[in-house]
Structure 1
């Protein structure tokens, strides 16, 4: 049948009606807006700075920025993933330059007693003195059996050769109970206290003997000991000195914290440990102020990142990262916090408690989880410093479980440093 014009016109009209929605959609469709993660990455790229490393020398606009912030701050807080070889080198270089601006104390993740022992060993013999201490039974505390960490302490102490008490320990004591008990045994005490202390020593010796037999860390005294043994010593030694009281408190707190951990009470264990960290830091702080050593002591703190994040950390507790900025604010001074991450895919040194040494492995603390948007902003080589403060307006709050850790980092630290190409620390060789 031949189509006439009157017949064609209705067909054209109907076709246009069918095509119009598709044409209209094609004309009005716009690219999907960037995801929240993409917006964080773009903001991070706009606020990133380079840090270069040549040997032990750091440079670049990121380095200059960290020094400028540190010089005007009361506290410099460096939260880390443990076991990165280049990170203690960074910390040593930062402290060396900042010591010229008045930084005179270096707070670390060991007990007050072991920090004092290391401080004395370094002051008397430098790195060799530290190695001699570490060669003694129980003389090597956690983390600082890594070569780069030990070298950092030697550098830090060497910058202030004539200053007292440069190292501030604030943590519990996992490996040094034999050193602490030996110090207590050398102090004058009532006979009843000596008997109670002997029982405590016997329990420590039995735990370590069982560990040597099995190589199982559950028998290490700090995890197997009974805190009541410590309380027995305290009850029999009422006129004990301040030093003896503090050592006994460190042993007791260690046993209590770890007892909560081994019985599955993780939150209570983390809470008690955080409170212990804060209490020990404030004790150092009050002694410093009372002695008049410095009208406003400036402290460099280096800990695992969970201890130095501002606000509730990944364990759900408030730690030094919340206390110290507030303490600085009371002094009318700012503080600055830096979160250091290994390069993406890089190994770190991980402590092997069955052999009491360090081995290369994947980062065990999980600090890199959820940090993809920040890693995506890193330069292809070298180290990338990102100022996190401008990112807070982008990621103000979130209920997205994939972004919770990222939000905690952005609001909990001032900077993040991504060490692309980082390497694992090596074990310190001790004769």
Structure 2
């Protein structure tokens, strides 16, 4: 036992030493940051064309941090884990005063993560700086009522328009009923394939914009069904998001191939690592890997930030009516990060520079498990929040 335990302990000691030597405190005051860690991070942001924030969802402190990063980066585009249609609605709603409570009562949970107040205020802050909101994800599962209403607005044929209006009202009422009951159920998840076939058939003679929307909806429906039934869906979702990013890149660069603008990404942590995703249930290459390739193809840099809470609470539902309480978590819930968390202490935030450990790993001087290896290879910095509070649905 000692022979097996000794090398493992030595490797842990090497990584522990590198973490301790390359961590820097950051003092957080809302969306304002200071300290040695923030100074170091600002320097890296200023050298980057893309900054990617891989987060733990539902933590109220992360939108403020993202806003602070945006102040330094000055991005033209904010790429978010929402679909392009939700991005359009968010852009319009952010121009209006107050929170979009009326919209959310009409279409419960339809703004995805931006149903949380802190996340919506981030969009408002970015839009005030004229940052474009770019949705790269599949059509969100809670948007059936809103999506059919949007289709009805664009449909030209009377039969199609009448059908879409009828279905929009049906799914809107169903979504509101789910909300009143405090259920995280969604019309899109419960639709049968026959409903999708009817949608495709009734819009067959419509213009290309409507047909494209229907194609997007049908593709997303198939992904959700695969995930619900346990027959797949994850790889298809990643492929869709990467196609959406490539489509944006082609449209922006044009035939002259001009450089892509500065972009700020914020997605779940699994999505934004370079190389292999952090997802433990397979080997996937995600948006973060493509973003790095796009940056390097134009002789620019991508900066990958993993932002996680050490302990505290995180929102577990988008709905204010949900009976689910915020999820409490501790260091033990993220085993791949436990060694990092154990070396950091509050009350300040901590910035851990992962690059020295990555260099040691590449040089064969460090041997770690696969989960830790993916963290080191996938991200440049780990931002440790000592304690988080849950995001608030409005």
TM-score bracket, shorter-length normalisation: 0.7 to 0.9
Q: Which whole-Å CA distance do the structure 1 matches of 2:117 and 2:324 have between them?
A: 10
Secondary structure in 2 aligned to 1:371?
Answer: helix
Q: Which whole-Å CA distance do the structure 2 matches of 1:171 and 1:62 have between them?
A: 32
Q: Structure 2-normalised TM-score?
A: 0.86
Q: Deviations over 1:288-316 (max 9, x none)?
A: 33499984311100010011122232142
Q: Is the 8 A contact 1:74 1:334 kept in 2?
A: yes
Q: Is the 8 A contact 1:208 1:221 kept in 2?
A: yes
Match of 1:349 among 307, 315, 336: 315
Match of 2:45 among 70, 75, 80: 70
Q: Which whole-Å CA distance do the structure 1 matches of 2:178 and 2:91 have between them?
A: 28
Q: Deviations over 1:409-428 (max 9, x none)?
A: 11111111111133222232
Which residue pairs with 2:107 in the alignment?
Answer: 137
Q: Structure 1-normalised TM-score?
A: 0.79
Q: How much does 1:318 deviate?
A: 1.5
Report whether the alignment pairs 1:95 with 2:67.
Answer: no
Aligned length: 382
Which residue pairs with 1:287 in the alignment?
Answer: 251
Q: How has the CA–CA distance of structure 1 residues 205 and 53 changed in structure 2, closer, same or farther, with 3 Å as cutoff?
A: closer
Report whether the alignment pairs 1:297 with 2:261.
Answer: yes
Report whether the alignment pairs 1:37 with 2:12.
Answer: yes
Which residue pairs with 2:275 in the alignment?
Answer: 311
Which residue pairs with 1:177 in the alignment?
Answer: 144
Q: Is the 8 A contact 1:349 1:361 kept in 2?
A: yes
* 410-419 or 276-285: bigger deviation: 276-285
Which residue pairs with 1:263 in the alignment?
Answer: 229
Q: Is the 8 A contact 1:397 1:407 kept in 2?
A: no
Unaligned runs of 5+ residues in structure 1 are 1-31
Alignment of 1:156-175 (within 5 A): 156-160=126-130, 166-172=132-138, 173-175=140-142
Which residue pairs with 1:230 in the alignment?
Answer: 196
Which residue pairs with 2:78 in the alignment?
Answer: 106
Q: Which whole-Å CA distance do the structure 2 matches of 1:117 and 1:292 have between them?
A: 31
Q: Which whole-Å CA distance do the structure 2 matches of 1:69 and 1:261 have between them?
A: 37
- Across the aligned residues of Structure 1 and Structure 2, the Cα RMSD in angstroms comes to 3.2
Q: How has the CA–CA distance of structure 1 residues 423 and 81 changed in structure 2, closer, same or farther, with 3 Å as cutoff?
A: same
Report whether the alignment pairs 1:186 with 2:153.
Answer: yes
Secondary structure in 2 aligned to 1:370?
Answer: helix
Q: Deviations over 1:38-72 (max 9, x none)?
A: 22111111111221112331112221222222222
Q: Is the 8 A contact 2:80 2:267 kept in 1?
A: yes
Select the structure of larger CA radius of gyration.
Answer: 1
Unaligned runs of 5+ residues in structure 2 are 1-5
Match of 2:119 among 116, 131, 149: 149
